[in-house]
Structure 1
Amino acid sequence: MNLIVEQNAARWYKEQMDLSEGDSLRIFVRLGGCGSVHPGLSLGITKDEPRNAGLSQQVEGIFFYMEEDNVWYVENKELRISFDEKYEEVKMVVA
């Protein structure tokens, strides 16, 4: 399992969520949405402090993480968070 947050995506989150260096963003499994890995589930993101981070990466001074009890969603896969310049939106791809 691997978490990769591209720099341009981290910058977008910093700007859109008014984040400061040292802030943390939790990636979590949520009911609904259009996730491609597990039908009926998708990923969300919120500002929060880690309790038991299972996957993490620090980019642009922001700590991106997924709690240990949610890593089953990306088991044996890679979660890549990128920014699509054309559509000006963040993409979360599990492959």
Structure 2
Amino acid sequence: MKIDLSNTAIHWFKEEVDLKNGDKVRFYVKIYGSSPVQEGFSLAFTVDNEPIDIAVKTEKEGLTFFIEGADLWFFNGHDLHVDYNKEIDELEFSYVLPGEK
């Protein structure tokens, strides 16, 4: 599994969340909501500079984005792609099986 972020998503994190070099963003599972990979669950994020069990991470522009081992089940083998949609002014998460586009 991997995490991929677009340049516009990274810019959004820096501007809207006021992230600085060295900050860490954890993507985690929350109950309720919906996603194409798990019914009744959705994805959220928090700034978490004290990870416990990083299972997957990517580093871009001085920032670390990660998922804890306890949340890997949510992805059901999919990679996480994070983008920013300017029209709705929100992050968009997409889930792609390795090898698919």
Instruction: Please indicate, yes or no, whether the TM-score normalized by the shorter chain is above 0.5.
Output: yes
Aligned to 1:73: 74
Conserved 8 A contact 2:23-2:47: yes
Q: What does 1:1-95 correspond to in 2, within 5 Å?
A: 1-49=1-49, 50-95=51-96
Alignment-mate amino acid for residue 84 of structure 1: N
**Structure 1 regions of 5+ residues with no counterpart?**
none
Deviation of 1:4 (Å): 0.8
Q: CA RMSD in A?
A: 1.2
Conserved 8 A contact 1:78-1:94: yes
**Structure 2 regions of 5+ residues with no counterpart?**
97-101
Quick one: percent identity of the two aligned structures? 27
Q: Distance in 1 between matches of 2:54 and 2:5?
A: 15
The runs of at least 4 consecutive aligned structure 1 residues that moved more than 2 Å come to 85-88
Deviation of 1:88 (Å): 2.3
Deviation of 1:87 (Å): 2.3
Conserved 8 A contact 1:24-1:63: yes
Deviation of 1:22 (Å): 0.5
Q: Distance in 2 between matches of 1:87 and 1:30?
A: 22
